[in-house]
């Protein structure tokens, strides 16, 4: 079965460009389009979409609110599709808000075709399309809007983590890859991957991007403290 993709952008020309790229792929099919978040939710309520390429700045309902509703599963069949945010500017504040709302990653609108296709495959398979190096840039860019002075909040979710899992989460939040974490803690990369999976399960998160956001929001890591 091909990966079923929906394009959501208020610029028809951009949707056409993405459609032309994706239609050349044997295992990807563009099954729906929408020009704003309201229409996107109406179409998604009928099901049949695996990945949504979502613009952020649109009339009626922006991509951040639409992403929040999609990731919350409001009125959508099953768990709903995964969302990839489309941005004009690298890591603008809307992209960050959408990641916090549950998006699985972001792409620039001028993304090379091969990267677009790879990103769709990655998100479909449950991965986040934000590399560790980009996570660090995201943290640096948004240090001003991330909590920096609040005391650590030992939430019920955070209390579920073991000391080792907290240690791994801390290193994820500083932008380290699994391999780098393994080297830092003298563990195998497979062991780190297991820890990461358990962290996401215990905290009820989709991916490591949301783990980074939560680490800052709970005060586990302080903005500007990298």
Among 106, 129, 152, the domain boundary falls at 129
Domain range for 184 is 131-226
- Whether 154 and 221 share a structural domain: yes
Looking at residue 124, its pLDDT comes to 86
Looking at residue 223, its pLDDT comes to 54
Residue 97 exposed, middle or buried by CB count within 10 Å (0-12, 13-18, 19+): buried
pTM of this prediction? 0.68
- Whether 139 and 123 share a structural domain: no
- Whether 17 and 47 share a structural domain: yes
CA 159 to mean position of chain CA atoms: 24
Among 83, 101, 129, the domain boundary falls at 129
- Whether 179 and 116 share a structural domain: no
Give me 197's structure tokens: 């999976």
> Quick one: CA dihedral 118, 124, 125, 126, positive or negative?
positive
- Whether 50 and 116 share a structural domain: yes
d(CA 49, CA 29): 10
Q: What is the CA radius of gyration of the chain?
A: 18
- Whether 155 and 205 share a structural domain: yes
Looking at residue 178, its pLDDT comes to 83
Smallest Cα–Cα separation from 67: which of 209, 197, 215?
209
The answer to whether the CB of 212 falls within 8 A of the CB of 139 is yes
The answer to whether the CB of 58 falls within 8 A of the CB of 8 is yes
- Whether 70 and 139 share a structural domain: no
- Whether 123 and 19 share a structural domain: yes
Taking the alpha carbons at both ends of the chain, their separation in whole angstroms is 44
Who contacts 143 (Cβ-Cβ below 8 Å, separation ≥6)?
Answer: 223, 224
- Whether 147 and 125 share a structural domain: no
- Whether 216 and 125 share a structural domain: no
Pairing of strands 3-8, 51-55: parallel
Tens digit of pLDDT at every position of the chain (226 positions): 899 999 999 999 989 999 999 999 999 999 999 999 999 999 998 888 999 999 988 888 988 899 988 888 755 555 678 999 888 765 556 767 777 788 888 888 888 888 889 889 888 877 767 655 555 566 666 555 554 444 455 677 788 899 999 999 988 877 777 888 999 999 998 999 899 999 989 988 877 777 877 887 777 766 554 4
Among 66, 96, 129, the domain boundary falls at 129
> Where residue 75 sits, what CATH number does that domain have?
3.40.50.2300
- Whether 102 and 11 share a structural domain: yes
- Whether 38 and 121 share a structural domain: yes
The answer to whether the CB of 9 falls within 8 A of the CB of 86 is yes
């Amino acid at each position: 079965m091909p990966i079923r993709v929906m394009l959501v952008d208020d610029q028809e020309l951009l949707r056409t460009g993405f459609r032309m790229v994706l239609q050349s792929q044997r295992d990807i099919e563009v099954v729906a389009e929408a020009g704003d978040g309201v229409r996107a939710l109406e179409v998604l309520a009928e099901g049949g979409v695996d990945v949504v390429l979502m613009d952020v700045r649109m009339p009626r309902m922006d991509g951040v609110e639409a992403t929040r509703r999609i990731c919350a599963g409001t009125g959508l069949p099953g768990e709903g599709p995964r969302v990839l945010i489309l941005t004009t500017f690298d890591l603008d504040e809307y992209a960050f808000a959408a990641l916090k709302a549950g998006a699985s990653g972001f792409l620039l609108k001028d993304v090379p075709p091969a990267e677009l296709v790879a990103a769709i495959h990655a998100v479909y398979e449950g991965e986040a399309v934000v590399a560790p190096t980009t996570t660090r840039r995201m943290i640096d860019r948004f240090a001003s809007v991330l909590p920096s002075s609040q005391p650590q909040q030992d939430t019920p979710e955070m209390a579920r983590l073991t000391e080792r899992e907290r240690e791994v989460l801390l290193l994820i939040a500083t932008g380290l890859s699994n391999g780098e974490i393994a080297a830092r803690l003298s563990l195998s990369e497979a062991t780190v991957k297991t820890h990461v999976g358990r962290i996401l399960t215990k905290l009820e998160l989709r991916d490591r991007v949301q783990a980074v956001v939560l680490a800052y929001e709970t005060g586990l890591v302080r903005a500007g403290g990298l």
